[in-house]
Amino acid sequence: MQEPLWVFGYGSLIWDPGFPVAERRIARLDGWHRSFCMRSIHHRGTSENPGLVLALDRAEGESCTGVAFRVAPGHEASTLFALRERELVSSAYLEMTLPITTESGALDAVAYVIDPDHVQYCHLDHEEQARIIAQACGGRGRNCDYLWSTAAHLAELGIRDPDLDWLAERVRALT
């Protein structure tokens, strides 16, 4: 296991990491983008009424800005266990160690990316995403709350994501 252990957050990990954090840094992951491209059948939807959650989707020439978390020393194994329980519940995510860039330099971080061959992977236009997010609810709550919390925390950090901002406003109009 790598020490120190860094984890890249781009969605709910930003505002709810669920593990002891020793340090946070704004970070950029090149070659990937944040996207509502995963149908959620557990946390923000159900099998009968799937919601949508964010995933890192491979995209040449693009990048995703998020937060790099350095796991508190001594909590590396328990953090990976907890993250795997949370993120790999349906095997739609793949756990990867990827190079990220921070203002303090480059480092490697664990990140959860979408498996493009998984049945939960989808590409929907923004209007369809908004309609789904506005009405879905799962084991961790309403899909719209997930969107709004992520958008608000990105804004607090000064991270611009025009797609998320548009979705947040559109979902507010629909609910």
pLDDT tens, N- to C-terminus, the chain (175 residues) = 567 999 999 999 999 999 999 999 999 999 999 999 999 998 899 999 999 999 999 999 999 999 999 999 999 999 999 999 999 988 899 999 999 999 999 999 999 999 999 999 999 999 999 999 999 999 989 999 999 999 999 999 999 999 999 999 999 999 9
Q: Is residue 87 annotated as part of the catalytic site, yes or no?
A: yes
The pLDDT of residue 175 is 93
Whether the CB-CB separation of 57 and 33 falls below 8 Å is answered with yes
- In this predicted structure, what is the pLDDT of residue 2? 64
pLDDT, residue 55, reads 96
pLDDT at 96: 97
Given the residues 3, 62, 76, 87, the one annotated as active site: 87
For position 1, what pLDDT does the model report? Answer: 56
